[in-house]
Amino acid sequence: MTQDRHSAGHKAGTVRIALLQGRDQGSLESNLERTEGAIREAAKGGAQIVCTQELFNLPYFCREQDPQLFDLAEPVPGPTTEALSSLAGELGIVIVAAVFERRAAGVYHNTAAVMDADGAYLGKYRKMHIPQDPGFEEKFYFTPGDLGYKVWETKFGKIGVLICWDQWYPEAARMAALSGAEILFYPTAIGWLPKEKADLGEAQHNAWETVQRGHAVANGCYVAAVNRTGTEGETEFWGQSFVSDFYGQVVARASIAEEEVLFADCDLKALEDTRRIWPFFRDRRTDSFDGLSRRMLD
């Protein structure tokens, strides 16, 4: 299913992005095939930057602790990024793809790679904040990132990439924005557990969306969060991928349960104009922020 809430043409200063909300197809090969098809569909719809969900070519394997699952990892750059680099060059689009990176025996990362519109591999971001919750056993699998908060100058704009649990940290969004990011992409895998959904499901989703819309406002940028959908084990991924503009307005939102290519047009000229009238970066009291590098202030 494709949702396009914007006109087919591009206005001057706009960038069309597409978020690929999907479910696990049962194998690495099937997931890659499905994603390649969705990327082609996005490009046909005019998308210039396309972003996958977190761990897009795998099931969400972090539901349990199993050392054999480290075999799912691959080097970055590696086979998947090479295939997507070729596709990016063929279609003339930027691709952001989130995969399970094998760095060395015993050292693995939750990583997003960026391929430019000429097929060039621009680099990668390693997830900095690693959660640990029932059904989300990520500290067992992922070493915290050590590449900092990365921003890339692509053919179609300056983008930052953060991953899932990073969404909750305003410092991460701020660091990327201070490096010039105009659009922040968040590949994501977040969902409900059965025992929580009835009492907390709506509140959890509201918090997730609200904090990211706040990042967009505070940093004068677009925020694009692309989530998984479908049920894996007991985890019901809640979909609802969305794009927020710099006023915190949701300009595009996907459904809970459907696989979708979600389009949004990002007006980078309007973004610049808004940063001029709301100069949050200019007025930051950087001399008063020393405590941010400490765990607590007591």
Q: What is the pLDDT of residue 5?
A: 36
Say how many Å lie between the first and final Cα of the chain, rounded: 51
Q: What is the pTM assigned to this prediction? A: 0.95
> Considering the domain boundaries, does residue 249 fall inside one?
yes
Instruction: Work out the average pLDDT over 118-124.
Output: 98
> Considering the domain boundaries, does residue 227 fall inside one?
yes
> Considering the domain boundaries, does residue 282 fall inside one?
no
Select from 187, 185, 191, 186 the least CA-distant residue to 229: 191
The SS3 call for residue 87 is helix
> Considering the domain boundaries, does residue 297 fall inside one?
no
Chain-centre distance for alpha carbon 156: 17
Q: What is the pLDDT of residue 131?
A: 96
> Considering the domain boundaries, does residue 287 fall inside one?
no
The tokens of 37 are what?
């098809």
Q: Total structural domains in the chain?
A: 1
> Considering the domain boundaries, does residue 190 fall inside one?
yes
Residue 239 gets the label, from left (phi > 0), alpha (psi -120 to 50) or beta, of: left
Q: What is the pLDDT of residue 190?
A: 96
pLDDT tens-digit map of 9-50:
456 699 999 999 999 999 999 999 999 999 999 999 999 999
Residue 121, domain extent: 2-268
Select from 218, 271, 212, 274 the least CA-distant residue to 19: 212
> Considering the domain boundaries, does residue 277 fall inside one?
no
Instruction: Work out the average pLDDT over 277-293.
Output: 94
Active-site positions read 54, 127, 164
CATH code of 94's domain: 3.60.110.10
Q: Name the average pLDDT for the chain.
A: 95
> Considering the domain boundaries, does residue 160 fall inside one?
yes
